[in-house]
Amino acid sequence: MRIVVLEPLGLEDEKVRSIAGKIIGEGHELVTYKDKVEDIDVLKKRASGADILVIANMPLKGEVINSVENLKMISVAFTGVDHVDIKACRERNIAVCNAAGYSTSSVAELTYGLIFSVLRNIVPLDKATREGRTKTNYSQNDLSGKTIGIVGTGAIGTKVAEIAKVFGCNVLAYSRSKKAEVEALGVTYVSLEELLKESDVVSIHVPLKNDTRALINEEKISLMKSNAILINTARGAIIDNTALAKALEEGKIAGAGIDVFDMEPPIPKDYPLLKAPNTVLAPHVGFATEEAMVRRAHITFNNIAKWLEGKPENLV
């Protein structure tokens, strides 16, 4: 079969081919591209003749999917699949698998990087130090003893909860379903409204779906404490970022750490959060550690191998 990797996977081509060695050794053709494009016509041309497509987080629209006559399977080197036209895949019975779990620890670790950056004002203090200034006018706050509210207790949210307990935090959680293993950590499930009212740190870890889009809107943000901070390493559109920027500018909450936006970076210069105070922004890097890139490549090609064997894994 012809397997086409439509975008770079964050590894050298030699490494990708080594990880895909079993599949190649069975006689399947592997085609890779070293640049990421979103032009529909270019993607159609690159995908032409493929039986299997591999993407990471680039949008894959139905127009491209439907142009590939023999397409049977898409292996997504990413946890979320909201950037793939799943409806088009369902209509054509195209299997879609994701790389579940490859970045759980990576995203959880960045969550705490953002929390500490905001609580300790690390970014502005780096600038102050280089300019010969001191900590004057910059607040410093502990995490220990604070209440962390985790919205979503999937694999990443659960990992964030585990780490929070190590730091001596009280942990609240909101999720559509309660997990005994999460409660066993000492986590208390509450309503979203109570979580927002009681938490010093609110961290988002739900997938982007119709019912989570703009889940954290102006009304929900207004429930938060004035000294609370909001962290998002999940999906940008889960938060109304215009409302968030306004709340930060008006001092209704104390700060934010944001790794994801309602678009992929680069972010336009007029994007509201760029001018919001007490905000640390990152260009969607939570998943992108070197170790995670290796893990996801293994999962991505293992998904293909299992599908070829008739024993698919990580179907979405």
Domains and CATH numbers, the chain: 2-102+289-308 (3.40.50.720), 104-281 (3.40.50.720)
Instruction: Find the length of the chain.
Output: 316
- Whether the CA torsion 11, 233, 260, 201 is positive or negative: it is negative
CA distance 81 to 280: 26
| Amino acid 284: pLDDT | 96
Please count the other Cβ atoms lying within 10 Å of the Cβ belonging to residue 190: 16
Q: Both ends of the chain: CA-CA distance in Å?
A: 22
- Contact in structure between 189 and 166 (CB atoms under 8 Å): no
Res. 99 pLDDT band, cuts 50 70 90: very high
Give the residue-averaged pLDDT of 101-106: 97
263 token code pair: 């678009």
User: Which amino acids are annotated catalytic?
Assistant: 235, 264, 284
20 token code pair: 């895909």
Res. 257 pLDDT band, cuts 50 70 90: very high
Give the residue-averaged pLDDT of 31-44: 96
pLDDT tens, 259-309? 999 999 999 999 999 999 999 999 999 999 999 999 999 999 999 999 999
Q: Where are the alpha helices (DSSP H) in the chain?
A: 13-19, 21-25, 40-47, 62-65, 86-92, 104-119, 122-130, 155-166, 180-183, 192-198, 218-221, 241-249, 290-308
CA distance 306 to 294: 18
pLDDT tens, 111-128? 999 999 999 999 999 999
CA distances from 7 to 43, 54, 307 (A): 10, 8, 21
CA distance 89 to 74: 9
Question: Left (φ > 0), alpha (ψ -120 to 50) or beta: where does 76 sit?
Answer: beta
| Amino acid 12: pLDDT | 97
CA distance 279 to 117: 9
pLDDT tens, 127-167? 999 999 999 999 999 999 999 999 999 999 999 999 999 99
| Amino acid 243: pLDDT | 98
254 token code pair: 């104390």
Give the residue-averaged pLDDT of 9-13: 96
User: What DSSP line would sit under 243-308, residue for residue?
Assistant: HHHHHHHTTSSSEEEES--SSPSSPPTT-GGGG-SSEEE-SS-TT--HHHHHHHHHHHHHHHHHHH
CA distance 66 to 272: 36
User: What DSSP line would sit under 165-186, residue for residue?
Assistant: HHTT-EEEEE-SS--HHHHTTT
| Amino acid 271: pLDDT | 97
| Amino acid 200: pLDDT | 98
Question: What average pLDDT does the structure give for the chain?
Answer: 97
- Contact in structure between 19 and 297 (CB atoms under 8 Å): yes
| Amino acid 294: pLDDT | 98
**Cα diameter, the chain:** 65
| Amino acid 47: pLDDT | 98
Q: Which class for 102: exposed (0-12), middle (13-18), buried (19 or more C-beta within 10 A)?
A: buried
